[in-house]
Structure 1
Amino acid sequence: MTEIILTQYPGRFIGPVAKLIGYIMNALYTFLDSAFGVQNIALCIILFTVIIYILMFPLTYKQQKFSRLSQEMSPEINAIREKYKNKKDQVSIQKMNEETQMVYEKYGVSTMGSCVQLLINFPILLAMYQVIRNIPAYVSSVKDIYTPLVEKIMGVSGYQDTMTEFLKESGVGLVKLNFESGTTTVNSIIDVLYALPGQGWELLKDSFAGLTDIISSTEASVIHMNNFFGINIANSPMNLIKSGWGDKNFLLIFAALLIPLISYGSQVLNIKLMPNASTGAAGGDNDAMARQMKTMNTVMPLFSLFMVFSVPVGLGIYWISGSVIRCIQQLVLNRYMKNLDLEVIIEKNKEKVKKKKEKQGIYESQIANAARMNTRKISEPVSTAEKESKIREREEYSRSARKGSLLEKANMVKEFNERNNK
C-alpha cells in the first residue's frame, strides 16, 4: 500500500480498527493468491473470522467459566440478598455489597466477566462493515485490479464529464465523484466501479467505447474476486433479490434469501448452546440481568436477520462464519465444562484471594509505619500538670531578673497593670 486511500472511513476509533483489518485481509488475499492461485474476498473473510475467534478463544473460555461459576455461587448470592431484603439503610446496603463481593472473590468471578467479549466483538463488526462496503479502499491487492482501467479512463479526453453522466445513469447511490487531484480522482472512480451493479459494466462499455477490452477483463476479475456460490458479496441481499426479480432469476433470489435466513438460524442455534447462569428467585439485580439477557437473546437473531438484508453479503458471511465457529467452540466447551471440577477451581481462587489480602495487609502496614515516621516531629500532647510546672518555672525566672534588665522592667509593667485592673 503505497498511498493513503482517501475513501477509508475517517472515524477516530473505528477507522484505525478498519485499517488494521484491511492489512490482515490484504495479507490473507496475497497468501491465497500466491499459495493456491485463489483470488476471492469471501474466503479471506472466512479465514479472517477463524483467526479472530481463535485469538479470542481464551476470552470465550473465561466467559463460559464465569457462567458456570455463576450457577454455582447463585444460591449464596441469593441468600445474602434475602438476608438484607427489607433493610434499606446505608449500613445494611454497604454490608450486603461487601458480603456479595466476598462471594465473587471466593469464586474468582468478575462482574464484568461476560461483557469483555462483546466489547471486543462490536467494534470489529462495525469496522468490518466499513471494510466490506469498500474493499479496494483497504485491500491494496484488490485496488490494483481496478487501477489499470482507471488510468485508461483518466487518459480519455473529457473523462470527468463522461464519468459524471455515467454515475447518474448507472444507479450507483451514495457515491460521489471527486476530481480534486490525481490520487483523489483514482480513488473516487474506484469507489464508483466497486459499487457498480451487474448492468453497470455494460453502461461503462457504452460510455467508454474505446476501452471495451480492458473493461471486460476488469469486470471478469472483479466478478471472480467477489463471487461466493454465484452471489456478488459486494451487493446486499435486498439488491440481489430486486435484480433477480427483474431478470426472472429465481435461483439468485433463493440464494440471496438464504444469507439472512442462515444468519438468523445460526444465531438462534448459538444462543441455544450457550449455558445460562442461574439467577434464582431472590429478585434484585439478578432478575433484571436475566430479563435483559432474555430480551437480548430474542432481539439479536432478529436484528441479524433484518440487518443482513440491507448490508453487503460479505458482512453476512462474516456474521454467519462467526456464529458457526462459536457453535463449534460452544459444543467443545460444554463438554469440557460438564467435567470441570469446580471445587478445585474454587480452592485455587480462595488461595489467590488469601494472597491478595496478605499483600494488601503488608501494604497497609507499610503506610501506617510511614505515617508514624512522618509525624515524629509533631509535639506530643502536654498534660495539665506539665503546663502548670512550666508556668511556675517561667514565673520564678521572671522574679530572678537582674536590676535594670528588660525582664525587670517588663515585670514592673505587669505588676502596674495588675494593680490598676484590681
Structure 2
Amino acid sequence: MPGIILTQNQTFIIGPVAKILGYIMEGIFFCLDKIGIPNIGLSIILFTIVIYLLMMPLTVKQQKFSKLSAKMNPELQAIQAKYKNKKDNESMMKMNEETQAVYAKYGVSATGSCVQLLIQMPILFALYRVIYAMPAYVGKIKDAFFPLVDELIAQPGSAEFIQTFKDAAMFTKQFSNEAFTGGNMEYIRNTFIDVLNRASTLEWSSLADKFPSLSADVSMTVETLEKYNNFLGLNIGNSPSFIVKEAVSAGSYLMVVAAIAVPVLSAVTQWINTKLMPQPESNNSQDNTMASSMKTMNYMMPLMSAIFCYTLPAGMGLYWIAGSVVRSIQQVIINKHIDKMDLDELIKKNVEKRNKKLEKSGINPKTINNYANMSTRTIPSKASSMTQEEKDLAVKKSTEYYNKNAKAGSLASKANMVKQYNEKNNKN
C-alpha cells in the first residue's frame, strides 16, 4: 500500500490502532476481490464481525464486573449511608477504608469496568475512522481514483472547484497546508482523494461537466466505485437523504423504501441492543435518578443514530446496523453464560487472585480483608475518648508549660517553646 500514509488518521493512539485495523480491512477486501466480489458493504459487515469478536473477552469481563457490582452495591450503599453527614477527615478516611475493603472482599478493582472501556474506546474510534476513509487503508479502493486524480490535479482551477463540494469543508486545512501549497504531489493526491471519496453522484456529474476532457475518466472511476459501493441495490457512498431525493425525482419508490430502511434499521437494532444490556438495580433515590437518565438515553441514542444515518453515507449506517446486530447476538450469549455462573465461586476466585497480587507486593491480604467485616465505629479514637473538660485542661497545661518565663504570644515564648520541646524529647 505505497503512498497512502497521508490520508490515514495521525491522532495519538487512534492513529496507530486505525493502521492495524486498516490491515485487517485490506485483508478482508483482498479476499473478497479474489473470489470475485470486491464489495465495500460486505467488507464492512465482515470487518465489524471480526473486530467485535476480538473484543469479546473485554466485553465478557465488563459484564462480569457489572454483575458483581449489583451484588456488592448494597454493601457500598450501606457504607455511604453510615457516613452520610460526616465530613471530617477521620470519617472520610474510614469510609474510604471500608469501601476499599468491600472491593477487596469481592476481589475486584474500583476501576475494573473503566479499564475495559479505556481499551475498547480507541478501537471503536479507529474502526469508525477506517470505515469512513477506506481509500486511506485499502489500496485497491484507492487505485480506483487513478488516473483521474493525476489528470484532475493538472487542470487549472480543479482544487478550487472540488472545494465547493458539500463535504470539502472537512479538509479546508489540508488545502492551505504548506505541503499542499508547496507542491507535495503525494499530499495533493491524498487531499483530492479525501474530497472525491465523499462526493455524491450529483457532484461527480458536475465534475464531468466542469472538465469535459476528463468525462471518460470520471465515468470509469464512478463505474468502479459504484461496483465497490453497490450493496443490495444501494450506493452506500451516498447518504439516504440524497438517495431519497434522487429516487423521488426518478419515481423509484422502492428505492425510497430501501434508503429509509437504513436509518430505521439502525435505530431499531440499537434499541434492541440497549434492551438486552443488563440494567442496574435501583435501591435508593440516587440510583432511581441515574436509572431514569439511562432510560432516557436508551431512547434518545437510537433516535440520534437514525438522524445521523439519514445524513451520513449509507456505508456508515450499514456499519452501525452490523455493529448493533453483532453486539445483540453477543449480549444474548453473554447473558446466558453469566446467568449460569456461580457468583460465589467467581467472587472466591477473584479474592484469591487479588490476595496473590497483594502478597507479591508485600501486603498481608488478611489485614485488608478484615476491614470488610469490621465496623469502624468500634475503632478506638484517642480524641473521642477524652471529655471536653479533659481536652481544655490539656490545652491549658500545654500553654502554661511553653509560656514559662515569657509573655504569651511573644517571640520569646515561641523560642522558649522550641527549647523546652527539644529538652523534653532529649530526656525521652
- Aligned AA (1:299): M
- Aligned AA (1:88): K
Matched, 1:190 2:176: no
Q: What is the correspondence of 1:62-81 to structure 2 with a 5 Å cutoff?
A: 62-81=61-80
- Aligned AA (1:23): Y
Q: What is the correspondence of 1:91-110 to structure 2 with a 5 Å cutoff?
A: 91-110=90-109
Counterpart residue number, 1:371: none
Residue pair 1:74, 1:279 contacting (<8 A) in 2 also: no
- Aligned AA (2:277): M
In 1: Cα distance, 2:427 partner to 2:166 partner: 96
CA deviation vs aligned residue, 1:50-81 (integer Å, no higher than 9, x gap): 11111111111111111211222233223333
- Aligned AA (1:62): K
Residue pair 1:132, 1:234 contacting (<8 A) in 2 also: no
| Greater displacement, 183-192 / 325-334 | 183-192
In 2: Cα distance, 1:278 partner to 1:76 partner: 13
Counterpart residue number, 2:247: 244
State the Cα distance separating 1:363 from its structure 2 match. Answer: 8.5
Residue pair 2:17, 2:123 contacting (<8 A) in 1 also: yes
Residue pair 2:200, 2:237 contacting (<8 A) in 1 also: no
Q: 1:66 to 1:229 in 2, by over 3 A?
A: same
In 2: Cα distance, 1:382 partner to 1:111 partner: 46
Q: 1:288 to 1:87 in 2, by over 3 A?
A: farther
Residue pair 1:74, 1:280 contacting (<8 A) in 2 also: no
3-state DSSP of counterpart to 1:278: coil
In 1: Cα distance, 2:120 partner to 2:259 partner: 25
Residue pair 2:4, 2:137 contacting (<8 A) in 1 also: no
State the Cα distance separating 1:139 from its structure 2 match. Answer: 2.0
Residue pair 1:166, 1:203 contacting (<8 A) in 2 also: no
Q: What is the correspondence of 1:261-272 to structure 2 with a 5 Å cutoff?
A: 261-272=264-275
In 2: Cα distance, 1:160 partner to 1:290 partner: 59
Asked which structure has the greater CA Rg, the reply is 1
Counterpart residue number, 2:220: 217
Matched, 1:226 2:229: yes
In 2: Cα distance, 1:126 partner to 1:223 partner: 26
Residue pair 2:234, 2:259 contacting (<8 A) in 1 also: yes
State the Cα distance separating 1:21 from its structure 2 match. Answer: 3.1
User: Residue 257 of structure 1: which of 255, 260, 277 is its match?
Assistant: 260
State the Cα distance separating 1:350 from its structure 2 match. Answer: 2.8
State the Cα distance separating 1:39 from its structure 2 match. Answer: 0.9
- Aligned AA (2:156): Q
State the Cα distance separating 1:194 from its structure 2 match. Answer: 2.6
CA deviation vs aligned residue, 1:285-315 (integer Å, no higher than 9, x gap): x566545533432332233222222222222
Q: What is the correspondence of 1:101-140 to structure 2 with a 5 Å cutoff?
A: 101-140=100-139
In 1: Cα distance, 2:339 partner to 2:364 partner: 40
Residue pair 2:55, 2:120 contacting (<8 A) in 1 also: no
Matched, 1:6 2:9: no
- Aligned AA (1:105): A
Matched, 1:299 2:295: no
3-state DSSP of counterpart to 1:111: coil
Counterpart residue number, 2:18: 18
Residue pair 1:234, 1:314 contacting (<8 A) in 2 also: yes
Residue pair 2:168, 2:195 contacting (<8 A) in 1 also: no
State the Cα distance separating 1:271 from its structure 2 match. Answer: 1.2
In 1: Cα distance, 2:87 partner to 2:289 partner: 19
In 2: Cα distance, 1:206 partner to 1:383 partner: 101
CA deviation vs aligned residue, 1:223-262 (integer Å, no higher than 9, x gap): 0101122222222222223333333332232222211211
Residue pair 1:106, 1:353 contacting (<8 A) in 2 also: no
| Greater displacement, 174-183 / 44-53 | 174-183
- Could you state the TM-score of these two structures normalised by the residue count of structure 1? 0.74
In 2: Cα distance, 1:292 partner to 1:101 partner: 27
Where structure 2 has 5 or more consecutive residues not aligned to the other structure, the ranges are 366-424
Report how many residues are paired. 361
- Aligned AA (1:338): D
- Aligned AA (2:240): P
State the Cα distance separating 1:330 from its structure 2 match. Answer: 0.9
Residue pair 1:151, 1:186 contacting (<8 A) in 2 also: yes
Residue pair 2:262, 2:309 contacting (<8 A) in 1 also: yes
Q: Among all aligned residue pairs of Structure 1 and Structure 2, give the percentage whose two residues are the same amino acid.
A: 46
State the Cα distance separating 1:18 from its structure 2 match. Answer: 3.4
Q: 1:76 to 1:185 in 2, by over 3 A?
A: closer
- Aligned AA (1:70): S
**RMSD (Å), alpha carbons:** 3.2
Counterpart residue number, 1:28: 28
Q: 1:315 to 1:254 in 2, by over 3 A?
A: same
CA deviation vs aligned residue, 1:69-125 (integer Å, no higher than 9, x gap): 122223322333333344333322322222222122222233333334443444344
Counterpart residue number, 2:369: none
Counterpart residue number, 1:38: 37
Q: 1:64 to 1:243 in 2, by over 3 A?
A: same
